[in-house]
Amino acid sequence: MNLRLLILFAGMLCLFGACKKDVASDTQGALHESTSTELDSSCDSTQFEDILFKDSNGTLRLSGGDADSQHFDVSGWELEACNLGFCFCREHFPAVYKPRYTSIEEDAFRYHPEDAFIVAFGGGKSKAYSLELMVKHEAVNDTLNGDPILVAYCVLADLPIVYSRAYCGEELTFALSGYTYYEDQVMDGVQAFVLWDRETESLWWPFSDDALSGPMRGARLQEYPLFKWKVLTWASLQQEFPNAQLLATDILVDPPTQWQALDITAADCN
């Protein structure tokens, strides 16, 4: 399947899928209804009543899956609910946590000259990530010369980008929240994925200056230096980085059931 068909397929899934939280009781359902109306009166709030709600402690939550532990704390966020695109639960897209690699020689006949790659490089080392493969994973947690990096590709926004994973002296591990978001005045209103980090469960949007919610709310999403990464075709990659490591095509990801939490906040970064 070529890249265009994969992008079209992903878009169709996003239109017709939904990640919704089951309503546990009539009382909780009534709470959903009143909360949704308060959140945004400019759109049909009934579509949000199962995904954006207050829990028993009065904390505003965004559903992230079937289990209560998967819901995001979005207290104090400033997003327009109607601009959310909700598609899948937060473990649906298999973000990579333990990347494996092949070589250009091993994959010499796998790619066409015009196929695109995100390439991160420096210190005599280089790693390359096929955009066609990134459609499957969208986020790869990796390191380069000791630098923790996030290589990401948002299909809907056609956005290839590399971020740093170092915040407040710690390393964060990113994945897809299952949601997209847009604002009319940003990039012509294109939908882009909303990321989350496992250590603090904060939400991050690539077109925002900082984290949207959670303990890291207000911290800047840090792009990796532009002189350390770029997008190249397969033909150019072979010429410029003949010894590059290529992300393996057969990586299988089982969503982790547990993850070490970090007790850090955006204030710790100042």
At 110 the pLDDT is 93
Q: What does the pLDDT average to over 210-216?
A: 93
Average of per-residue pLDDT across 228-241: 98
* pLDDT for position 42: 55
Give residue-wise pLDDT tens across range 59-75.
Answer: 999 999 888 888 999 99
pLDDT in tens, 159-183: 999 999 999 999 999 999 999 999 9
Q: Distance (Å, rounded) from C-alpha 125 to C-alpha 181?
A: 35
pLDDT at 270: 67
> What pLDDT is recorded for position 268?
80
The confidence score (pLDDT) of residue 90 equals 86
Each residue's pLDDT tens digit, 128-145: 999 999 999 999 999 999
Mean pLDDT of 77-98: 84
Confidence band, pLDDT 50/70/90 cuts, at residue 45? low
Question: What integer pLDDT is reported at residue 92 of this predicted model?
Answer: 84
Q: What sign for the dihedral angle of Cα 108, 119, 183, 204?
A: positive
> In whole numbers, what is the pLDDT of the chain averaged over residues?
83
Residue 33: pLDDT over 50: no
Given a cut of 60, whether residue 30 has pLDDT beyond it is no
Q: What confidence score (pLDDT) does residue 81 get?
A: 82
b/e string for 221-253 if b means 16 or more Cβ within 10 A?
A: beebeeebbeebebebbbeebeebbbbeeebee
pTM (two decimals): 0.84
- Number of Cβ within 10 Å of residue 173's Cβ equals 19
What is the pLDDT, as a whole number, of residue 249?
94
pLDDT of 86 > 60? The answer is yes
The mean pLDDT of 137-156, rounded to a whole number, is 96
